[in-house]
Structure 1
Amino acid sequence: MLHRVALPCALVLFLATATQAQIKPEVILEGLKCPSGVAVQPETGTVFVAETAASQIIRVVDGKAEVVVKEFPHDEYGKGPVYQIGPLGLAFINKSRLVVGDGSLKDGEEVVRVYDVPENGKEALSADAGKKTNPLAADGDVPGEGNFYAVAVDADDVYTTANGDDKKGWVARLKLEKEGLGKLERYIATKESVDVDAPAAITISPRREVVVGQMGEINDQKDSLLTFYDQKSKKLLMSLPAEMFDLVGLAYSPKTGRLYGVDYSWADPKQGGLYRLDAVRRDGKQVVKATKLIDLDQPTALAFNDAGELFVTVFGNGDGADESKTPATGKLLKIGEGL
C-alpha cells in the first residue's frame, strides 16, 4: 500500500528515456582539505565550499579560493584514518544568509550557524561571528546530537541531518524568524521510520516533501534508502532502496527536475560516484533505478546553479594535517549543463 499512497511523489522523478551524454567534470579547485559541503549563492551564482579539515568556509572568486568564514573549532571523526572535521553542510536562505551545519564540537554541543556573508574581497568572518542555534543536548535516555551533515532550506524552515543518535537517526528542524533564529528541535526520527541507520543526504522536492537519504551501514552492501516525508505531518510517504552504498548528497536539477545523488562508498572508495535516480516499475511496484554517471573518489555533496551546472565536492584521501605524508587531495568539480 505504501507505494500506492505515495505514488504522486514519483512525479518528482523522471523515467530514464535517453542515454546520458559523456560527462567530463572540470576541476575548479584542488588540494582542498576534505571538502564536505557545497552551496551556490542566489543571484550571484558564487560557489561556496565547506573545507571541513581546514576549519573554514571558502568561495570561488575568479577561479581561486577566498576564505569567507575561518577558525572553526575542530573535532575528530573516523577510526583509521581519523580526520579533523569542522563545518559540514551548507545552504543559502537568501543571497546574504548562509546556513552551516556544524561538526566541530562534541555531540550534544554542536549547533547550526547562520552567517551574513561579506562581499567578495572583504575580510573573512570568524566562526563565532554568526548567529547560532541551541545545541541538541542529551534529554533523558536520548543522547546529545551532532554532526549536522547536510542542510536543506524551504520557506521558513531549515532542515539538517544529524548523526549522533544511532538508535533514532534524527532530522532536525530550525524555524526561521524575523528577529533572529528559532529553536533547533529534533524533528523526524528516521531510523524508527525505516529501520536503517544514518540519515545523511537531504533536499526539498519540487512538491515540497523533505527528501532524505539514509546512508545505512558502512560496509560493502548497497543498503541506502531514498525516503520522502510530509513537512507538516512528518509522515513517511515513501521509502525505496537507492541501489547505492552510502548516499550522502541529493539535489534536483532546476532545468529537468531530475534527482541526482552522490555515493561516498566508505568501504570501497573506488565504487563512489555521481548517480541519476529515476523512477521505474519492476513487477508492478515503484522502485528507484540508480544510474551511475561518473566514478568519483569519495564525493560528499552536490549543488546546482540556476543554469543547470552541477558542482560536486570530492573528499579525497588526506586532510593535509601532515602534507609530507598525506597531502590534501580534495576537489571541487563542475559538470556542465544538461543534467
Structure 2
Amino acid sequence: MRNYLLTLACLLSVAASVHAEVETEVVVGDLANPTGVAVDIDTGDVYVAESAAGRIVRIEEGKPVDVVTGFSLDKYGMDPTYDIGPLGLTFLDQNHIVVSGGGKPDGEDFVGIYEFGQQSTADKPVQLLGPLVAEGEIKGEGNFYGVAVVKLDNVDWIITTSNGDDEKGWLAAAEKDKSNFKPLTRYIATKEATKVDAPAAITISPRQEAVVGQMGEISTPGDSLLTFYDVKEKALLMSLPTGLSDIVGLAYSPKTGRLYAVDFSWHDPSQGGLFRIDAVRVDGKQAAKATKIIDLMKPTALAFAKDGTLYITEFGEGEKGGRVLKIQPGL
C-alpha cells in the first residue's frame, strides 16, 4: 500500500501554486446543454455531445457541424430538470468515437460506437453496447454519463459510469474480443464500495486505473469523492474526499501530469468551476486537495488536446446558453 500511495501522489501531482492568470476563450456558444467533449489526438478536432439537441458535433471554424444525430431525449435532475440525450464521448481509435447516453428510460440507455468520418445517426452504430436491463431485484440501468477507453494487456476496454435509478451506482464495462466488444455488463457497484451515490466523471490514470468522480447527492454540498479502481481486479484501490460538490469531469494534463476536475455544484452554481486536485497528507494519511483555478457556470466535461490545450463544456444559463471554452497550454 505504501508504494501505491507514493505513486498516487505523483499521479495527482503535488503542486503549491495557483495559476494566477488563466484566461478562457469561447470556442462556440449557443449550445443546448453540452455534456461531453473529446479531442482527436491526431488532428486536434474538437467533438462535443450537445445533449439537449440529441447530437454529437464537430467544431469547425467556430460552428457545430453534425456528426451523429437523432439521439432520444429524457429529463434529468430536480429543481431544475434538464433535457439530456448523449452524455459522454471519447475516441476508440482513429476512425471511431464512443458515445454514452441518457436519453432513454433506465434499462434502455446504451453506449454506441460510431464511425465519425461521415455523418451518421444514433440508430446506426458500428456496435451497440447495452442496454443493461432489469435482472431480478436489480433495476434496469441508465444515464451513462462518462465513458473512457483503457488498454489492458493489449486488450481494449470501454468503461462507463451509470447513475440511473439503481441504488448501486454502477461502473459498466465491455472487453474487446477480436474485432468487436463483448456485451456491456454491470462491473463494479460503486455505491457499495464507497457509500456515496452517483458515479459520473471517469478518466484513466497514467497507471491505467479507472479514476472516477463519485458525484454524491446533488442537494448535498461537498460530498464528492475521487476514487481509483483496478479494472481487471474489479477492486476499489482508494477513495478520497475532495470537498467538491458534484464532480462531473476529470482529466490529466498530458504536459504536467496534473489532475483536473470540473464541479457542476448543483446546489449553488456560483461555486462551480475548474479545479486542480493535488495530493496532500492530512494527519499522516493520503488526502486530496481541490484548488479552484477558474469560476465556471455549470461545467459538465473537460478534455485536453495533445499540446495541453484544455477544452471545457458549460451548460450555462437558458436553453441555448451552453458553450465550449478553451484554455491555452500551461495547466
1:240 pairs with 2:235 = no
Say whether the 8 Å CA contact 1:169–1:197 is kept in structure 2. yes
Question: What is residue 272 of structure 1 aligned with on the other side?
Answer: 272
Say whether the 8 Å CA contact 1:166–1:197 is kept in structure 2. no
SS in structure 1 at match of 2:183: strand
Unaligned regions of 5+ residues in structure 1, if any? Answer: 320-327
1:106 pairs with 2:105 = yes
Q: 1:332 aligns with which of 311, 314, 324?
A: 324
Mapped partners of 2:77, 2:229: distance in 1: 30
SS in structure 2 at match of 1:143: coil
1:117 pairs with 2:116 = yes
| One-letter amino acid of the structure 2 residue matched with residue 196 of structure 1 | V
Question: What is residue 141 of structure 1 aligned with on the other side?
Answer: 137
Unaligned regions of 5+ residues in structure 2, if any? Answer: none
Mapped partners of 1:161, 1:3: distance in 2: 28
Question: What is residue 254 of structure 2 aligned with on the other side?
Answer: 254
Question: Which string of whole-angstrom CA distances, capped at 9 and with x for unpartnered residues, describes residues 13-55 of structure 1?
Answer: 1111333131111000111000000001121110000000001
Shift of 1:282: 1.9
Identical-pair percentage: 55
Mapped partners of 1:206, 1:79: distance in 2: 36
Mapped partners of 2:6, 2:190: distance in 1: 20
TM norm structure 2: 0.95
SS in structure 1 at match of 2:123: helix
Mapped partners of 1:217, 1:78: distance in 2: 11
| One-letter amino acid of the structure 2 residue matched with residue 231 of structure 1 | V
Question: Which string of whole-angstrom CA distances, capped at 9 and with x for unpartnered residues, describes residues 122-157 of structure 1?
Answer: 5x2111121211310001101000010001111200
Q: 1:235 to 1:149 in 2, by over 3 A?
A: same
SS in structure 2 at match of 1:193: helix
Question: What is residue 18 of structure 2 aligned with on the other side?
Answer: 19
Mapped partners of 2:181, 2:110: distance in 1: 12
Mapped partners of 2:167, 2:64: distance in 1: 39
Mapped partners of 2:83, 2:289: distance in 1: 35
Say whether the 8 Å CA contact 1:42–1:94 is kept in structure 2. no
Q: 1:80 to 1:280 in 2, by over 3 A?
A: closer
Shift of 1:230: 1.0
Over the aligned positions, Cα root-mean-square deviation in angstroms equals 1.5
Question: Which string of whole-angstrom CA distances, capped at 9 and with x for unpartnered residues, describes residues 235-285 of structure 1?
Answer: 111111011011111000000000000000001111100000000112211
SS in structure 1 at match of 2:280: strand
Paired positions, count? 326
Q: 1:94 to 1:289 in 2, by over 3 A?
A: same
| One-letter amino acid of the structure 1 residue matched with residue 37 of structure 2 | V
SS in structure 2 at match of 1:129: coil
In the TM superposition, structure 1's runs of 4+ consecutive aligned residues that sit over 6 Å from their partners are none
Q: 1:153 aligns with which of 149, 154, 164?
A: 149
Mapped partners of 1:5, 1:293: distance in 2: 27
Say whether the 8 Å CA contact 1:148–1:161 is kept in structure 2. yes
Say whether the 8 Å CA contact 2:215–2:245 is kept in structure 1. yes
Question: What is residue 194 of structure 2 aligned with on the other side?
Answer: 194
Question: What is residue 207 of structure 2 aligned with on the other side?
Answer: 207
Shift of 1:3: 7.4
Q: 1:133 to 1:25 in 2, by over 3 A?
A: same
Say whether the 8 Å CA contact 1:9–1:207 is kept in structure 2. no
Say whether the 8 Å CA contact 1:317–1:330 is kept in structure 2. yes
Q: 1:178 to 1:45 in 2, by over 3 A?
A: farther
Shift of 1:166: 4.2
Shift of 1:62: 2.0
Q: Which moved more, 1:129-138 or 1:267-276?
A: 129-138
Question: What is residue 121 of structure 2 aligned with on the other side?
Answer: 126
Shift of 1:180: 2.6
Question: What is residue 33 of structure 1 aligned with on the other side?
Answer: 32
Q: 1:271 to 1:95 in 2, by over 3 A?
A: same
TM norm structure 1: 0.93
Q: Which moved more, 1:264-273 or 1:62-71?
A: 62-71
SS in structure 2 at match of 1:128: coil
Mapped partners of 2:11, 2:39: distance in 1: 22
Say whether the 8 Å CA contact 1:96–1:117 is kept in structure 2. yes
Mapped partners of 1:178, 1:224: distance in 2: 37
Say whether the 8 Å CA contact 2:140–2:166 is kept in structure 1. no
